[in-house]
Amino acid sequence: MTSLIDKIDRNRVPGHVAIIMDGNGRWAKERSMDRSAGHVEGVNTVRRITEAASEAGVRYLTLYAFSTENWNRPKEEVAALMHLIVVAIERETPDLIKNNVRLDMIGDFSRMPQEALQRLRQCIADTSGCTGLTLNLALSYSSRWEITEAARKIAADVAAGKLNAEDITDSTVGSYLTTASMPDPDLLIRTGGDNRISNFLLWQIAYSEIYITPTYWPDFSKEDFYRAVLEYQSRERRFGLTSEQLKK
């Protein structure tokens, strides 16, 4: 069977793909299952899409695994989700290493249970020598939290005389964000069909191409991922310029 991966132009693969993984709950509800069954199935999709991204030559894959707002879900769902994420990452770490995938994470870790955090940090350390795809988990993350933190740190550095207020540029701001070591996402995918950004990478997606699919995250296949990459490759990114200027 031919795969859409063969249609991807290898010279124009999005370097950074960010994904809002939505629809686990609805997937489960449609099957009269508990919401947590949707999250369990969602973990399989994480594995599948990490593989797909790696095979397509993507360098960074950022997944919105747990938002700051998710802390407000029922206590049992929060605990189950945290547990599921930690156990899945630990289980997958040997395979991540085998596939040269480096794990990273961004978010407000002060709100995370200490044990979960330590276990995830161990997996990050174990994969730190990998040089292929970086799988970046946004955990306890929200963009407004991140930008507020950056503003605080910038203000502190100005007050301490380490930074001149007049010298602050947009790249200065970028360097205070949790994503400082990564390029901005080229492509933002949202599954589950909602047309919103939900407090995810607001600064970083200024020029990202946005791809929204009604497919629920547990059903999102490798071919669906390649379809999103192909759609990205069919678009003209103008970064505020005209088509004519781009042709020069």
Q: Which residues are catalytic?
A: 22, 70
Among 8, 17, 21, 189, contact with ligand FPP (rule: CB under 6 A): 21
Count of CB atoms situated within 10 Å of the CB of 112: 19
Nearer to ligand FPP, 13 or 85 (CB): 85
What Rg, from alpha-carbon coordinates, does the chain have?
Answer: 19
Q: Which is nearer to ligand FPP, 142 or 150 (CB)?
A: 142
* 26 is an interface residue for ligand FPP by CB under 6 A: yes
Contact pick of 13, 17, 39, 229 for ligand FPP (by CB under 6 A): 39
In the complex, what is the shortest distance from the CB of residue 1 to ligand FPP, in angstroms, rounded to a whole number? 27
In the complex with ligand FPP, the residue whose CB is nearer, 41 or 146, is 41
Looking at beta carbons only, is 8 or 81 nearer to ligand FPP? 81
Token pair belonging to 56: 């397509």
> Smallest Cα–Cα separation from 28: which of 222, 216, 220?
216
Beta pairing, strands 102-106 & 60-67: unpaired
Residue 88 within binding range of ligand FPP, rule CB under 6 A: yes
Least gap, CB of 149 to ligand FPP (angstroms): 22
Least Å from the CB of residue 126 to ligand FPP: 15
- 10 Å CB burial of residue 99 (0-12, 13-18, 19+) is middle
Interatomic CA distance for residues 51 and 41, integer angstroms: 16
Q: Write the interaction track for ligand FPP spanning residues 194-213; mark x where CB under 6 A is met and - where it is not.
A: --------------------
Q: Alpha-carbon distance 2 to 52, whole Å? A: 15
Residue 149, by phi and psi: left (phi above 0), alpha (psi -120 to 50) or beta? alpha
Cβ closest to ligand FPP, residue 45 vs residue 154 = 45
* 103 part of the interface to ligand FPP, by CB under 6 A: no
Contact 220, 47 (CB under 8 A): no
Per CB under 6 A, the list member of 49, 58, 63, 106 interacting with ligand FPP is: 63
CA gap 188, 62 in Å, rounded = 9
Tell the smallest beta-carbon distance from residue 186 to ligand FPP (Å): 21
**Cα–Cα distance between 156 and 149 in angstroms, integer?**
11
CB 49 within 8 A of CB 220: yes
Written as six digits, the tokens of 47 are 């594995």
Q: How far is the CB of 75 from ligand FPP (least distance, A)?
A: 15
Q: Point out which residues bind ligand FPP (CB under 6 A).
A: 21-26, 35, 39, 42-43, 46, 63, 65, 70, 85, 88-89, 137, 192, 217
